[in-house]
Amino acid sequence: MEYYHSPDTIQDAFSIAEKCDGNFIYFAGGTDVQIYRKQNLDKNDHIIDLSSIHDLNSISLKDGNLTLGAMTSLGDIITSNKIQNKYPLLVEAAKSVATPVIRKTATIGGNILVRNRCTFYNQSQEWRNGVGSCLRDVGDICQVTGGKNDCYSRNVSDTAAALIALNAEITLLNSAGVSQQPLKDIFLPCGIKFHDLGNDNILTQISVSMKPKRWWYKKLRLRKTLDFTSLTVAATIDINNIARICLNGVSMTPILIEEPLETLTLENLIKQARKNCKTVDNDLMPLKYRREMINVFLEEWWEYEHRK
Amino acid sequence: MEKVALTVNGFTQLVLVESHETILDTIRNRLNLTGTKKCCDEGTCGSCTIMMDGKPVLGCLTPTLRCVGKKILTIEGISAGENLHSVQKHLVKSLGLQCGFCTPGVVMTAVPFLEENPKPSRDEIKENLSGNLCRCTGYKKIIDAVENAAEEMQS
Amino acid sequence: MSGAIGKPTPYIDAVQKVTGQAMYADDFKFPNMLYVRFLRSTESHAKIKSLNVTEVEASSGVVAVITGKDIPQPFGVLSISRDETAMAIEKVRYQGEIVAAVAAETIEAAEAAVKRFRVEYEPIKEFYTPEDSLKTCESHEQIHPHTKDHKNIHKTAELRFNEPEKELETAKHKQTGNFKFAGVTHGFTEPHSAVAMWNGDETLTVISATQVPHYLHKNLSKVLGLPLHKIQVKKPVLGGGFGGKSDPFPHEMIVSYLAMKTKRPVKCTFSREEVFITHHGRHPTEIAMSISCDDDGKLTALDTDIIIDGGAFGSFGVVTSYYNGVLLQGPYKLDKFGFRTRRTYTNKHQCGAMRGHGAVNPRYAVETLLDMMAHDMKMDPCDLREKNFLSEHSSTVGEFRITSNGIRDCIAAVRKKSDWDNRYGKLPFGRGLGVACGFFISGSALPILWNRYPQTVVHAKLDFDGRIVMFSGASEIGQGSDTMLVQIAAEELGIPMDFVQVEVADTKTTPVDLGSYSSRVTFMVGNAAKTAASNVRSEMAKAIAKEKDVSAESLIFKNGRIFTKDKSLDISWEEGVEMAMAGRGAFVESGFYISPKLGGKFKGAGAGLSPSYSFGAFISEVEVNPKTGETNVKKVWGAHDCGKALNPLAVEGQIEGSIHMGLGQVMSEEMRYNNGQQMNANFFDYRIPSSLDTPDMDVTIIESNDPEGPYGAKEAGEGPIHPVLPSIGNAVFDAVGIRMMELPITPDKVLKKLKETA
Ligand SMILES: Cc1cc2nc3c(=O)[nH]c(=O)nc-3n(C[C@H](O)[C@H](O)[C@H](O)COP(=O)(O)OP(=O)(O)OC[C@H]3O[C@@H](n4cnc5c(N)ncnc54)[C@H](O)[C@@H]3O)c2cc1C
Ligand code: SF4
Ligand code: FES
Ligand code: FES
């Protein structure tokens, strides 16, 4: 059976969540998770739709510090002059997600927590019946690697890459209280459990206080719209000349490389990136090419950073 | 099944729906408003675009129960039977449609877009329609139509 | 022309479409209707050992469950390859093939019931690639028992004229290439859908999203064992076809059978994934081709060997096999010419006809080789082509009769508009221009099923209300055929278009038309409609002449009036109608079209015969990023000779749509498989270009006035796609100096080539 709940307050959401005892899923915009439900990849009985909780929808910029309610739509982020002025990187990243109409419903919180993808997993039930189910579903091997332990589904969040490069923090709320942590810390290097939010935690806020001196963003995809990323690179340089380069779409988590610009060499950057990215053949762009593009994108950023 | 009140095209009625149902299936199958089209059912084509409280949303991704208490507008409600909306008029005039299957979605995307952006550039129109798959027209005449509609609505 | 013909004309059904009132197949709902869902095979090639029907029958809401042996009669669009049944019988041949069908009170009940099926399969050796299928195998491993020599070859088509291979052996200027093309699919937006009803008078009515009501009608009769006169097929408004709805389909047989069985209306609508599984798109193709020319750049020979991957069933495959070869006979004159095409069966969903049927991939090959030739001979690629064009009113080596031919005007137009002469070969590294030409039939001169009837008949009916109703079996699929019927009647009778209405694509009420395929509608139906309408005019003129004592020939029908030149007689249309109907009442006049006798006497001479051919020339401009391999098509200039644009808006629309579809195949679309299973059966990963990916287009209509086309018209719906792909491929060469021999031109391939040539 399926049940749909539409709480007006976070407290109501928690009490519903508690009653559902783990057998529920939060809907923010629902633009990602709805398809998982149609494909029987999300089998929870209860939907808790957060879209009526209005105090999670806000954009505020105080003393140059950006605070976003988790339910702020990507569309609102893109059209916000405040964000465009101070954090154009975030706007770029948000603009590269899905399509204009979807972005009006899709939330920043949902985008950060967008579910990992894999060509053998993001398919209909009938399709999966054909190839055989995999580790992440109800099967016991990985259809990509043949392995029995690890799932390499890809984290595809474009805005997570940008926000991690911006050293963003997130605020989580559960019935026990509030906690804050760097965004980069919630991701786990596992394609099945790809973040560690805790069961009923609601992501309420994203805050950015870093003021990047420079930024760079690029997303690899075949079309200029709609496609999930095959490689996203977001990079910033902060006032202390620390470079933060975040790669996504090529591993189970966003991969952050953080180093003073002064000591960073291109060779080393590429080496670290290639080593940390557990890229497997689970995207329709060929594996070899995606790996090559890691180099090319990083080189391009490097050139941009060192241009005269 | 749940009994809910839905306001569609200005009229509120009680409807019995499944809790997992999308508004696309509800309006097509239960309210018989078949103008909204189902092409992919997974967010990739824009054919099912409708408006919820004035904002375009994809019918195939929107839970019906989310629409309770909201104002839903479908293609059937756009021209209120009499005069075509400028966007519709110009789609007809410039042949911004061939088979017409993507057309309701195009209208429901372009109308709120022009309300928000009364003076769009051609590139902005292109960008805004980039989630509306059309396999017939090559988009050129659709973009022409929206451009002409914007001009007409200005004057 | 003074009337509606030649004027940019919005579609007559556009308001319906733009308001959501147009009724597509899935929009029909009937009282007491049942819904159908399918059990589809999870195996590619396997015996069905067992199936638990009784358990499924017991599922709540289920009214009927049927399996392959309930509808055993094979069918297929071509009578020579009726190799498909409505559902798998004994064995399955591809993953996704329908194994059983459930009709239930609701879609959900049908879905729930299908989940209760348990099937046991016994795998048979699978054949996933043509290479596998060309090899010999055990007879029990053959995909179909009827293939020869223990191989899975469905068809070998071969024609040779004047020993091209000899010429090629010794030719001084020769180019050879091996090309590889991924399969692509139509991607129409409306999923297949059909509703069947068993009527009280023991007749069957089927409303289906089909481009070929007539062939569906005939196949239904065969499969159901129901006489033709008891079947009515109606095509509602159709959401795109492009060849993908031009076969009779299993689901159409199934809903019809179930309607007969349950005596209730039965509907079935596909999910997008099922549309992909059903496919019938362009064949994955491998082409080895050689061309030669003399010192002057005149082509001396072309020889090619082609393998096309047909999938599990025949569909249009025999025709596709021939079209891959024979349509290379234009637009260039060739005296020594040969081809062999082999179509293999494989354990994948079947391929069939798709816009530009059969000729798109070989066109890419030949236009690429021509470009290579021009490059090696240091000639301008446009000049080289211009030296070789077929002339008007000539004949090809395979005895195709060429009538009108505007190719020279086409190439001149795009050459000028793109500023080719000043820019080709001179753009900075990373930017380039490419040219290519095209050639296509304007209606197949031979019907698919041989018969003695015309290829189309149109009735024009006049009644007391002054309205003309055009009755035609022609299938409007978005190309504008309904509007054309109205324009033609309005033109012939000198009345406003709103006096004319259509009654179309209903096998009970409209005369036979073969369907919307092979770009035949404008030419054939247009001619028939013109005759029908002008016959109405003659009948009216006769009656008026008699009553008013003027000569019938002196009457002019124009602007809603009927008058003599000196206006001694000047009556309104309505007055004319009354005179015409006096003493006889409403009447119907007919027109028909039969293609003239064409072609040679040799075996295979019929393939590609057409009463007329269309021509075109396109130039594309691209930008290639040499670091990432990404290619961006900036602009396409297209000039197409459609004879006469009856509706310039519609012709432009067809050309623009062709550019979009061609762009998709050349840049991003591709059917991807993993052991015969399609990896990208959705619009996330089957990448059709969006509005942002589609380049600027500059379209030029060339009018060569065909002597036999209606008002000089010929086709524009398919011909414009052919030059799009190679013009882009050739532009990539101009930009970065690499030859893309494999489609789609994805960034990884470009980068690989760039590295290889560096
Ligand atoms: C056609 C199409 C194209 C797309 N393209 C892209 C793309 O290019 N890049 C991309 O990243 N995504 C893409 N998506 C996926 C999706 O639309 C976006 O990721 C979107 O931003 C998700 O936001 P949402 O609010 O709809 O998330 P939802 O679907 O509502 O949620 C996503 C996940 O996050 C969880 N969640 C959401 N909010 C919270 C919260 N506040 N607290 C706790 N958990 C929460 C949900 O439980 C769920 O697991 C695409 C989707 C479609 C249909
Ligand atoms: S990487 Fe392997 S285990 Fe993970 S989703 Fe893909 S196939 Fe399944
Ligand atoms: S049907 Fe909703 S986006 Fe395609
Ligand atoms: S008009 Fe056919 S899909 Fe757009």
Q: pLDDT by residue (tens digit) across C427-445? A: 999 999 999 999 999 999 8
Q: Which residues of B touch C16 (CB under 8 A)?
A: 100
- Please name which ligand lies nearest the alpha carbon of B61: 3
What's the one-letter identity of residue A227? D
CB contact under 8 A, B34 and C479: no
Residue B138 beta carbon below 6 angstroms from any ligand 4 atom: no
Give, as one character, the DSSP assignment of residue B68: T
Query: Are A146 and A153 in contact, with CB atoms under 8 Å apart?
Result: no
CB contact under 8 A, A129 and C273: no
Q: What is the mean pLDDT of residues B61-76?
A: 98
Q: Identify which of A51, A100, A226 has the shortest CB distance to residue B128.
A: A100
pTM metric for this prediction: 0.98
Positive or negative: CA dihedral A36, A37, A43, A46: positive
**Is it the case that residue C664 has pLDDT exceeding 90?**
yes
pLDDT at residue A199 in the model: 72
Entry field: residues in chain C = 758
Rounded to a whole number, what is the distance in Å from the CA of A258 to chain C's nearest CA? Answer: 25
Q: What is the mean pLDDT of residues C302-322?
A: 98
Q: Is B32 at the interface with chain C, CB within 8 A?
A: yes
**Residue C471 banded pLDDT, cuts 50, 70, 90:** very high
Q: What is the mean pLDDT of residues C618-639?
A: 98
Mean pLDDT, rounded, of chain A: 96
CB contact under 8 A, A225 and C627: no
Number of B–C residue contacts, CB under 8 Å? 167
Choice from B103, B130, B146 to test ligand 4 binding pocket (greatest atom count within 8 A of CB): B103
**Is it the case that residue C459 has pLDDT exceeding 80?**
yes
Residues pairing with C15 in the sheet: none
Helix axes C747-757, C724-736, angle to 10 degrees: 40
Of C164, C158, C366, C179, the residue nearest C288 (C-alpha) = C179
- Tens digits of residue pLDDT in C104-163: 999 999 999 999 999 999 999 999 999 999 999 999 999 999 999 999 999 999 999 999
Task: Count CB-CB contacts under 10 A for residue C474.
Answer: 33
**Is it the case that residue A1 has pLDDT exceeding 80?**
no
Query: Are C460 and C529 in contact, with CB atoms under 8 Å apart?
Result: yes
Work out the percent of chain B whose per-residue pLDDT is above 90.
95
Of A283, B141, A25, A54, the residue nearest C680 (C-alpha) = A283
**Is it the case that residue A163 has pLDDT exceeding 80?**
yes
What three-state secondary structure class fits C545? helix
Q: Is B9 at the interface with chain C, CB within 8 A?
A: no
- Tell me the CA–centroid distance for residue A211 and ligand 1, in Å: 26
Q: What is the mean pLDDT of residues C268-278?
A: 98
In whole angstroms, what is the distance from residue C362 CA to residue C340 CA?
A: 12
Tokens 């329609």: give the residue.
B129
Mean pLDDT, rounded, of chain C: 97
CB contact under 8 A, A31 and B61: yes
Rounded to a whole number, what is the distance in Å from the CA of C44 to chain B's nearest CA? Answer: 25
Query: Are B101 and B47 in contact, with CB atoms under 8 Å apart?
Result: yes
- Tell me the CA–centroid distance for residue C40 and ligand 2, in Å: 24
Rounded to a whole number, what is the distance in Å from the CA of C255 to chain A's nearest CA? Answer: 21
Q: Identify which of C629, C693, C748 has the shortest CB distance to residue A223.
A: C693
Q: What is the mean pLDDT of residues C207-218?
A: 97
CB contact under 8 A, B143 and C697: no
Q: Identify which of A130, A220, A299 has the shortest CB distance to residue C95.
A: A130
Rounded to a whole number, what is the distance in Å from the CA of B19 to chain A's nearest CA? Answer: 6
**What are the structural domains of chain A?**
1-53 (3.30.43.10), 54-208 (3.30.465.10), 214-306 (3.30.390.50)
What three-state secondary structure class fits C244? coil
Residue B95 beta carbon below 6 angstroms from any ligand 4 atom: no
**Is it the case that residue A125 has pLDDT exceeding 60?**
yes
**Residue C237 banded pLDDT, cuts 50, 70, 90:** very high
Q: Is C688 at the interface with chain B, CB within 8 A?
A: yes
In whole angstroms, what is the distance from residue C409 CA to residue C701 CA?
A: 10
Rounded to a whole number, what is the distance in Å from the CA of C114 to chain A's nearest CA? Answer: 11
Number of A–B residue contacts, CB under 8 Å? 74
**Is it the case that residue C1 has pLDDT exceeding 60?**
no
Q: What is the mean pLDDT of residues C88-99?
A: 98
- Tens digits of residue pLDDT in A51-69: 999 999 999 999 989 999 9
pLDDT at residue C2 in the model: 65
Touching subunits of A (3+ CB pairs, under 8 Å) are: B, C
Residue C189 beta carbon below 6 angstroms from any ligand 4 atom: yes
In whole angstroms, what is the distance from residue C291 CA to residue C337 CA?
A: 9
In whole angstroms, what is the distance from residue C511 CA to residue C474 CA?
A: 9
Q: Identify which of B34, B35, B102 has the shortest CB distance to residue C189.
A: B102
Q: Identify which of A4, A101, A225 has the shortest CB distance to residue B58.
A: A101
Residue A28 beta carbon below 6 angstroms from any ligand 1 atom: yes
- Tens digits of residue pLDDT in C340-394: 999 999 999 999 999 999 999 999 999 999 999 999 999 999 999 999 999 999 9
Q: Is C449 at the interface with chain B, CB within 8 A?
A: no
CB contact under 8 A, A35 and B131: no
Entry field: residues in chain B = 155
Task: Count CB-CB contacts under 10 A for residue A126.
Answer: 22
- Tell me the CA–centroid distance for residue A152 and ligand 2, in Å: 6
CB contact under 8 A, B44 and C683: yes
**For the residues of C42-94, what is the DSSP string, one character each?**
S-SSEEEEEE-HHHHHTSTTEEEEEEGGGS---B-SSGGG--B-SS--SEE-S
Query: Are C267 and C276 in contact, with CB atoms under 8 Å apart?
Result: no
Residue B38 beta carbon below 6 angstroms from any ligand 3 atom: yes
- Tens digits of residue pLDDT in C36-85: 999 999 999 999 999 999 999 999 999 999 999 999 999 999 999 999 99
pLDDT at residue C717 in the model: 95
Residue of chain B whose Cα is closest to the Cα of A97? B131
Residues pairing with C558 in the sheet: C561
Q: Indicate if ipTM > 0.95.
A: yes
Query: Are C647 and C629 in contact, with CB atoms under 8 Å apart?
Result: no
Give, as one character, the DSSP assignment of residue C139: G
Q: What is the mean pLDDT of residues C657-669?
A: 98
